Amino acid sequence: MTALDQLFAKVRAENRAALIAYIPAGFPSQAGCHRVIEAFIAGGVDAIEIGYPYSDPVMDGPTIQAAAVTSLANGTGAAEVLAALKFASASVPAVVMTYWNPIERFGVAEFAKAIATNGGSGVITPDLTIEESAGWIKATKESSINPIYVVAPSTKHERLVQVTSKCGGFIYAASLMGVTGARASVSSSAAELVARVRKTSDLPVAVGLGVSTREQAKGVAAFADGVIVGSAFIKALQDAPSEEAGLLAVTELARELAKGVREGR
């Protein structure tokens, strides 16, 4: 059982959702990323996703793309991603979110082992299909980490059954068709998607894409096991006049979102 598995058992016993925060490794700087992680934890975040910055993302909106550009310019590679993961996992359950290409370049079995060695609970792979997952599933089992896949409102029932049967830790439910980004409201299709997923699996379901406020977190926490927030935190850092001000904004936003997930039920 990973630290992530233990977290979801804990929040389920507390009858609430988990707050999961996303930050790309190396953003806003290598040291700054670690300070953001500290701000997340100070604000009450339950788990952290470390993003592996990638030059050709398919799921990332403009806010996260801009952060990835900064991260890559800061020299972020596998070593920096794993260092951020290790730093985060010392305090809360942590996973890496990455496209498949960096895993393949690193070595599939080696990457899974490196995640476990650095305290990580698992990996979210948004562009890896089930049909191409045999080697990855084998590697995650050998390293005892969670393979986390993404499902969307367009995913048909037969496909949901296939995908959710291969997941571990939680199932990532994308709240809408499109890319990441803070939005004025969370798509109504999110609740429907979670309900559909629950018919195929007993695993926790976490919703991402669009959550940016306490009220939105509260709304999603009413039907999901986890609330994932990324763009709103990154935007707070990008809009701040200084890194110090950005960190204060991140802590305050985390506190508000943490209240939201506790108010959902």
Q: Which residues are catalytic?
A: 49, 60
Cα separation, 74 vs 162, in Å, equals: 39
Q: What is the DSSP string of 132-176?
A: G-HHHHHHHHHHT-EEE-EE-TT--HHHHHHHHTT--S-EEEESS
The first and second tokens of residue 248, run together, are 């204060």
Helical ranges in the chain per DSSP H: 3-13, 30-43, 62-73, 78-89, 100-106, 108-117, 134-143, 157-164, 189-198, 214-221, 231-239, 243-263
Q: Does residue 144 come out as left (phi exceeding 0), alpha (psi in the -120 to 50 range) or beta?
A: left
Cα separation, 14 vs 8, in Å, equals: 10
